Amino acid sequence: MKTTYTTFILLFIAVVFSGCEDKYYETFVGNSPVYMSYEDLRSAVLLSPSREIEKPGKIYFKDNYVFINEIMKGVHVLDVSDPTNPDNIGFIKIPGNVDIAIKEDVLYADSYIDLVAIDVSDLTDIHEVGRVEEIFPYTLPEYDTGYRIGEIDEDQGVVIGWEVEKIKQEIEQYHYPVYYGRSYAENLFMDGGFATTNTSGGVGGGSGTTFGVGGSMARFGLYKDYLYTVDNSSLYTFRISDLTNPTEIGSKNIGWNIETMFIYDDHLFFGTRSGMLVFDLEIEENPTYVNQYSHITSCDPVVIQDDLAYVTLHDGGSCGRAVNRLDVIKMNDDYSELNLLASHSMANPHGLGIDDDILFICDGAAGLKVFDASDPLTINQHKLAEFPDINTYDVIPLNDYLFMIGDGGFYLYDYSDIQNITLLSTIPISTAGN
């Protein structure tokens, strides 16, 4: 009996260990990754001839030039020195790009997992001058959600596209990297942060200024000698006192579902799906938490002027419950008190901009809306203008000109006469292949 029992145990162990060595495979039709090697990625930044805008992302202004992100591809450069006739002068190829910021003559951009510094002092001869490698999360571009994703091998490089085909792979648990593709841009759209002194934000940024000006959908921002970038949960800090040699200072977790960043009055303001976070920049290398304003789950860019924060909340996709409104938040001098002053119903608000008492809101498919915001309690009762036939994303109001991006392309308005806002020019989105 003992011999039989021992034989059974040995047989059982043999079967178990034999099974552990077996590999099981599955076959399915799915998204098979197409890679770009890291070597090719790090030699890909270059200036190419102008091309049509197809999938616009964030928008940025510097020294009479507008820079429009082509999602995950690079940046269009428009000369708007003649607002009635903007000139599409070139395209900067930056694989995996979503955000940019510009200090003096250096453009900083994300390129998949890297931060890139690009000399744009001569827009006929731009070139890479610095790079911080492997600083951002591994990202994936847009894919057909009707199919599974095949296994990702990060050692092969970055994923630049997909082929829907039959895939055979070993059955195992594996991690999918962070996805910041088209749906990210659809929810967040443009770069932002309006320049004031020593910031990347405010109404300013004319020819010869230190910082450019972005829209309200920021994840990149500039302050003194520092560049700040944010992803879903982490804030990254870079020293750029040597413009061509950005240096990583470090990163820190600041919360969850971070969407936008706005720099104002020596503070960072983060728009999240659950509220607005405020961080102090007294110690530039280590921003510190100050306070939080909470709201229901919703997507929300933020802009600040004086003691008021303007926050648009919209639903759709992963943005949470059906709420579409503008919140106005009253803040005291040290931001220790953040109190809701008023809420105003909107259709589906996204980006926004403020210039003195003029508030511009991109209200989704309801179009561009312009309000007199001198009385924050009655903003929705004082609409100055409305352009309903444009699905709008984000705006930059600057020296009586409004730069806007939307489904139809790039729009440039003159609002020097607020009672007669005039569309000066447009650059439409290409419909080829759509």
Domain residue ranges in the chain: 38-137+180-428
- As a whole number, mean pLDDT of residues 247-275 equals 92
Residue 274's pLDDT band (boundaries 50, 70, 90)? confident
Burial of 377 (0-12, 13-18, 19+ CB in 10 A): exposed
For residues 289 and 302, the answer to whether their CB atoms sit within 8 Å is no
CA distance 54 to 186: 13
64-95 residue pLDDT tens: 999 999 999 999 999 999 999 999 999 999 99
Residue 172's pLDDT band (boundaries 50, 70, 90)? low
Beta-sheet strand order (sheet of 106-111): 100-103, 106-111, 114-119, 127-132
**Phi-psi region at 110: left, alpha or beta (left = phi > 0; alpha = psi -120 to 50):** beta
pLDDT at 154 over 60: yes
26-66 residue pLDDT tens: 999 999 999 999 999 999 999 999 999 999 999 999 999 99
Burial of 219 (0-12, 13-18, 19+ CB in 10 A): buried
Bridging pattern class, strands 56-62 and 46-48: unpaired
Which of 170-174, 197-201, 404-408 is least confident?
A: 197-201
Residue 142's pLDDT band (boundaries 50, 70, 90)? confident
Residue 202's pLDDT band (boundaries 50, 70, 90)? very low
pLDDT at 169 over 70: yes
Residue 299's pLDDT band (boundaries 50, 70, 90)? low
Tell me what pLDDT residue 121 has.
Answer: 95
Contacts of 276 (CB under 8 A, 6+ apart): 269, 270, 292, 293, 300, 302, 309, 311, 329, 338
Tell me what pLDDT residue 321 has.
Answer: 60
Among 3.40.190.10, 1.10.287.610, 2.130.10.10, 2.70.70.10, what is the CATH number of 38-137+180-428? 2.130.10.10
pLDDT at 325 over 50: yes
- As a whole number, mean pLDDT of residues 13-33 equals 70
Tell me what pLDDT residue 141 has.
Answer: 87
Tell me what pLDDT residue 296 has.
Answer: 60
pLDDT at 18 over 50: no
Which of 104-108, 123-127, 174-178, 300-304 is least confident?
A: 174-178
pLDDT at 21 over 70: no
Residue 239's pLDDT band (boundaries 50, 70, 90)? very high
Structure tokens, 394: 């984000």
Q: What is the DSSP track for 161-219?
A: EEEEEEEEEE----PPPEE-SHHHHHHH-S-B----TTBS-SS---TT-SB-EEBBS-S
Tell me what pLDDT residue 176 has.
Answer: 47
Tell me what pLDDT residue 371 has.
Answer: 97
DSSP classification of residue 5: H
Bridging pattern class, strands 46-48 and 213-214: unpaired
Helix (H) or strand (E) holding 341: strand 338-345
Share of residues in the chain with pLDDT > 70 (%): 83
- As a whole number, mean pLDDT of residues 244-248 equals 97
Tell me what pLDDT residue 314 has.
Answer: 82
CB environment 116-145: b (16+ within 10 A), e (fewer): bbbbbeeeeebebbbbbeebbebbbbbbee
pLDDT at 3 over 60: no
Residue 185's pLDDT band (boundaries 50, 70, 90)? very low
pLDDT at 13 over 70: no
Which of 65-74, 109-118, 207-216, 303-312 is least confident?
A: 207-216
Of 33 and 181, the one with more pLDDT: 33
Tell me what pLDDT residue 257 has.
Answer: 85
- Chain-wide mean pLDDT for the chain? 85
Tell me what pLDDT residue 183 has.
Answer: 34
Tell me what pLDDT residue 322 has.
Answer: 65
Tell me what pLDDT residue 291 has.
Answer: 96
- As a whole number, mean pLDDT of residues 392-412 equals 93
Burial of 297 (0-12, 13-18, 19+ CB in 10 A): middle
